[in-house]
Amino acid sequence: MSKICLVLTGKTLAIDLEILERYRPYIDLVELRGDYLIPEEQPMLYHFPKMAGLPALLTMHRKENGGLFPGTEAERIALLTHAFSNTAAWQPHFAYVDIACDMDVPELEKAARSSGTRIVRSFHDFNGTPADLAVRIRKLSRVGDEILKAAVMPQTLDDVAFLIQAANDFRNAEKIFISMGKRGTCTRILSEQLGSAWTFAYAKDIPGAKSSAPGQLSPKELCEIYRFREIKEDTAVYGILGWPLETVSSPAIFNKVFAREQMNAVYIPFPCDSSDGFMRLAELIKVKGATVTVPYKKAVLSHLIRISEEVRRTEACNTIVRREDGWHGYNTDAPAFSDSMLRYFDREDLSGMNVTIVGAGGTAKAVAGEVSRLGGNALVVNRTRERAQELASLYRFTAAALEAGVEKLIADYSGLIINATSVGMEPAIENDPLEMYTFKGHEKVMDIIYKPEQTRFLRRAAHAGCTTLNGYDMFIRQTRYQFKHFFGKEYSLV
Each domain of the chain, given as residue ranges in start order, spans 3-233, 254-331, 334-475
SS (H, E, C) 15-62: HHHHHHHHHHHHCCEEEEEHHHCCCCCHHHHHHHHHHHCCCEEEECCC
334-475 matches 254-331 in CATH topology: yes
297 assigned to active site: yes
Q: How does pLDDT run across 73-122, given as a tens digit for each residue?
A: 999 999 999 998 765 555 789 999 999 998 989 999 999 998 899 999 99
Which residues in 162-302 belong to E strands, given as ranges? 175-179, 198-201, 236-242, 265-271, 287-292
Residue 166 pLDDT: 95
Contact present, 449 and 455 (Cβ < 8 Å): yes
3-233: what fold? TIM Barrel (3.20.20)
State yes or no: pLDDT of 32 exceeds 70. yes
Domain 334-475 has CATH 3.40.50.720: yes
pTM: 0.93
Residue 92 pLDDT: 85
Which of 175, 297, 444, 451 is flagged as catalytic? 297
254-331: what fold? Rossmann fold (3.40.50)
Q: What is the share, in percent, of the chain residues with pLDDT greater than 70? A: 98
Distance CA 435, CA 6 (A): 45
Q: How does pLDDT run across 205-254, given as a tens digit for each residue?
A: 999 899 999 999 999 999 999 999 999 999 999 999 999 898 889 999 99
Q: How does pLDDT run across 56-76, given as a tens digit for each residue?
A: 999 999 888 889 998 899 999
Residue 89 pLDDT: 58
Q: Kindly indicate the confidence band of residue 313, based on its pLDDT and cuts at 50, 70 and 90.
A: confident
Residue 493 pLDDT: 55
In the beta sheet, which residues pair with residue 120? 98, 147
Q: How does pLDDT run across 257-307, given as a tens digit for each residue?
A: 999 999 999 999 999 989 999 999 999 999 999 999 989 999 999 999 999
Nearest to 485 by CA among 290, 300, 338, 325: 290
Alpha carbons within 13 angstroms on the beta-carbon side of residue 1 total 9
Sign, CA dihedral 229-234-240-241, equals positive
